[in-house]
């Protein structure tokens, strides 16, 4: 299970009459929890770590208040915790860089 919370800052620029371009960057705090299964004594581990993240995307206006928002980005963890099983060894470690893709809606108040 992965839970993420962060603070981002964004810049937006118009591309003529079409969609707007936006770029965001910030810091993120991640909580990663893993639970074993399929062994006689399953265990669980939890790790809390920080990462830097950035994305670049477009805003397609659907109305004056609503926009469709596709984006691509990357996340770079500042620490990469290792998840391990006793007497087996390491079974998971977050990547040094993670690619991200998102599709959402933006609402302007």
SS (H, E, C) 13-78: EECCCCCEEEEEEEEEEEEEEEECCCCCCCCEEEEEEEEEEEEEEEEEECCCCEEEEEEEEEEEEC
Q: Which of 1-5, 22-26, 30-34, 97-101 is the least confident region?
A: 30-34
For residue 33, the model assigns a pLDDT of: 83
Give the β-pairing of 20-35 and 98-107.
unpaired
pLDDT one-digit tens code per residue, 43-90: 777 888 899 999 999 999 899 899 999 999 999 999 888 877 666 777
pLDDT exceeding 70 applies to what percent of the chain? 93
For residue 101, the model assigns a pLDDT of: 96
Q: What is the mean pLDDT of the chain?
A: 87
Q: Alpha-carbon distance 39 to 88, whole Å? A: 11
């Amino acid at each position: 299970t992965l839970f993420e919370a962060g603070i981002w800052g964004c810049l937006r620029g118009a591309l003529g009459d079409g969609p707007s371009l936006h770029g965001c960057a910030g810091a993120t705090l991640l909580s990663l929890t893993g639970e074993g299964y399929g062994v006689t004594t399953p265990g669980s581990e939890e790790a809390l770590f920080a990462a830097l993240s950035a994305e670049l995307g477009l805003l397609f206006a659907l109305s004056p208040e609503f926009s469709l928002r596709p984006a691509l980005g990357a996340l770079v963890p500042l620490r990469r915790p290792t998840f391990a099983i006793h007497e087996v060894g390491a079974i998971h470690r977050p990547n040094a860089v993670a690619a991200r893709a998102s599709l959402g809606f933006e609402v302007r108040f």
